[in-house]
Structure 1
Amino acid sequence: MEQTVSRQEASEAVQNHGWRYLLGALQMSVTVRTLAQAISLAADAVAVCGDDADRHLRVDVRPDRAVFTLQSLDRATVTTRDIELARRISATADKSGFPPEPGIGTGAPRSVQLLEIAIDALNIAGIRPFWKAVLGYTDETGAGGPEDPLVDPVGQGPAIWFQQMDRARPQRNRIHIDISVPHDEAPRRIETALAAGGRLVSATRAPAFWILADMEGNEACITTWQGRDS
């Protein structure tokens, strides 16, 4: 029976197979040499997933890589089925001569990541319909409440979520980007950002997230699955 798993369980179950858990999804990047190879790998993944492919698997194919994402679309989270499918896809990629590359230590500029845009608001229920309409977004699976996230129905754009403000802050930017990275890559990403002129605003919620800012105070958060509720 398909069951929802905790963040810790999901991460530990797949990390040795080239996958990383990123806040509700499993992702793996495989380096290829041609678009044809990426498409072939995607077709192999669909085949090994069988009837589960349409409800669990998404693939982004490029001439230099194929990025696989697994998540139960019915539950908007990772399940035991996703873990099983991840292992199958890793095995078929390895058999085809394209082993998964987590990224860290491989020389790649980065591996996998997910982007979210956070909007601070005093009246979330009041502004949420505007962002839903102007972006052409829909409610997240199982959500739809006045303060729930919005997602791109075709999976091209980052999710939008809303952060409750307790008072107006006119001198502070109210939209920031969350970059969800593999937990074992966060320190390197933060170090690189600081070396590029950024500053650490807060680490009080680390390792769930670190707040960074550029030299003009515009903020971004590096986030991981760790330090959150199981």
Structure 2
Amino acid sequence: MTEKIADSGGKLSRQEISEAVGDLGWRYVLGIVRASVPVASLAQAADVAARVVAVAGDDGDGSLWMDVRRDRIVLSLQSLAVGWVTPIEIELAHRISAAVGESGLRTDAEIGDRGARSIQLLEIAIDAIDIAAIRPFWKAVTGYGDEAGASGPEDPLVDPVGQGPAIWFQQMDAPRPQRNRIHLDISVPHDEAPHRIKAALAAGGVLLSDAEAPSFWVLADAEGNEACVTTWQGRD
């Protein structure tokens, strides 16, 4: 698959990215491929992180970041220059998974050794009549910045150190006072979405719409506050 991608040219599709790394335990979510490595201690996490940095080499500086904890390492790959997954990140995923495997560990789509949840990314969606008028406020108050290649007056905002959820603005023609104007988008791997929706419904939620599935499902809590479960599917 990597040879096919390397020869294809142009921007990789979400389908191509997902298929290229899925068997390695990585998942594509919101322009990033991400995996978790379960470990037994912070010392082991540091050792694995050092091995990953070594195998990534110079390519890692522009593509790789890690969240290193006592029970896991969360690995993320995205070209910081273009804000997308390129053949470089695909190749890095293969190299990193091989190196992790040599340590007797694995790259996985689950967070934690008991599969507490799948890897995911969180976005805050804000309804707006005039996006350009409110975007500077949210940029200033959060200390956020522009995504790579997306600095327009209506583009999303991201945490420059990758700790907080991204913020994007949903264009509205008129206010909708009957619903909350800020909602969460929970972007999960495509194979996690059915489980997440089932759990949300079992916890008292309701399904408001699946008209755009599998891109996203609109759910709400018992008082009507909305959240969307989203995947990459249906977006290429």
Same fold by TM (over 0.5)?
yes
Find out whether 1:168 has 2:175 as its counterpart: yes
Structure 2: distance between partners of 1:115 and 1:102 = 16
Aligned to 1:86: 93
Distance in 1, Cα, partners of 2:234 & 2:197:
17
- Matched with 1:191 is 198
2:184 is the alignment partner of 1:177:
yes
1:62 pairs with one of 55, 59, 69: 69
1:154 is aligned to 2:161: yes
TM-score, normalized by length of structure 1? 0.96
Aligned 8 A contact 2:34 2:109 in 1: no
Are residues 1:113 and 2:120 paired?
yes
Match of 2:78 in 1: 71
Task: Count matched residues.
Answer: 228
Q: Distance in 1 between matches of 2:100 and 2:11?
A: 25
Q: Distance in 1 between matches of 2:194 and 2:212?
A: 14
1:26 aligns with 2:33: yes
1:100 partnered with 2:107? yes
Which AA in structure 2 matches 1:24? Answer: G
What CA deviation, in whole Å up to 9, does each residue of 1:5-38 have, x standing for no partner?
A: 1100000000001100002000001110101111
Shift of 1:102: 2.3
Contact 1:182 1:224 in 2 (8 A): yes
Answering whether residue 40 of structure 2 is matched by residue 45 of structure 1, we say no
**Aligned to 1:78, what secondary structure does the other structure show?**
coil
Aligned-pair distance for 1:101? 2.3
Cα drift, residue 200 of structure 1: 0.3
CA RMSD of aligned residues (A): 1.4
Identity over aligned residues, as a percent? 66
When structure 1 is superposed on structure 2, of 36-45 and 191-200 the one drifting more is 36-45
Q: Unaligned 5+ residue runs, structure 2?
A: 1-5
Contact in 2 for aligned 1:198/1:212 (Cα 8 Å)? yes
Match among 141, 148, 168 for residue 148 of structure 2: 141
Q: In the alignment, is the contact (CA less than 8 A) between 1:3 and 1:79 conserved in 2?
A: no
1:59 to 1:178, Cα distance in 2 relative to 1, 3 A: same
Q: TM-score, length-normalised on structure 2?
A: 0.94
Residues of 2 paired with 1:39 and 1:181: CA distance? 27
Deviations, residues 151-207 of structure 1 (Å, cap 9, x unaligned) = 111111111000001111122101011111010010000000000000001000000
Deviates more, 1:9-18 or 1:170-179: 170-179
